[in-house]
Amino acid sequence: MADNEDLQNNEENSSSFLDGFMDQGSAAQRGGSSVSDDYDKSVIGKNIKFRGELIGNESLHIEGTIEGTVIMEGHNLSVGAGGELNANIHAKNITVEGALTGDALAEELIEIRRTAVVKGNLIAPRIQLDDGGKFRGSMDMVDTDAEMKERITAFKEKLVHPSLPPREGEDSAASTAGSSQSNYYTGTTAATDYADSEAESETEA
């Protein structure tokens, strides 16, 4: 009788151990799914050159050359040390290790790493500039959600490449191109216009 009870207890302990192991595995999978955005990431290689409007529903890492606009709303965007962007960009989090010329809006964080060269205006709740990183422009650190919504609405005008036709529901190509060209490197209402200041400095020189 004692042997039967010991065997039953061992089976129960083994079962509870396996259940706990499966629960831990499920928890790990659930934890992994919360950061699945890091795994579902596309890469633009160093030998790729792209010109136009780039829109995605997953995270993107860029090692190549992009000219135009990049929209990864709700997802992460990173520019590798060999990447070069001449573009206005919008993403959840933006990390720059290479070269960026243009305005950037992030819903959470913009990181400028020590190898980065950035010229433009930055808008985000948090902006981090590492020691050694080169930056020229303005920083607009948004305090509230209401302010963020205003910045996103105003920033949408910059997210149309001047050489592309308007999206559905927008004005004619001429008016869109005109507004894009006039606003392509302008800052927010709280920032100075980087392009104009650059032009004035060249004129004075």
Domain assignments of the chain as residue spans, ordered by start: 39-192
> Does residue 152 have a pLDDT over 80?
yes
- What is the rounded CA–CA span in Å between residue 75 and residue 27? 23
Q: Which residue, 196, 176, 201, 178, is CA-closest to 186?
A: 196
pLDDT band at 24 (very low <50, low <70, confident <90, very high): very low
Residue 41: its pLDDT value, please? 81
- pLDDT over 90 for what percent of the chain? 55
CA distances from 110 to 11, 17, 55, 118, 167 (A): 54, 44, 19, 11, 27
Distances (CA, A) of 111 to 76, 160, 199: 11, 24, 27
pLDDT category, 14, cuts 50, 70, 90? very low
Per-residue pLDDT, averaged over 182-201, amounts to 38
Alpha carbons 178 and 1: distance in angstroms, whole number: 91
* Residues recorded for the chain: 205
Question: Predicted confidence band at 160 (pLDDT cuts at 50, 70, 90)?
Answer: confident
Burial 190-200 (b: 16+ CB within 10 A, else e): ebebbbeeeee
SS3 at position 167: coil
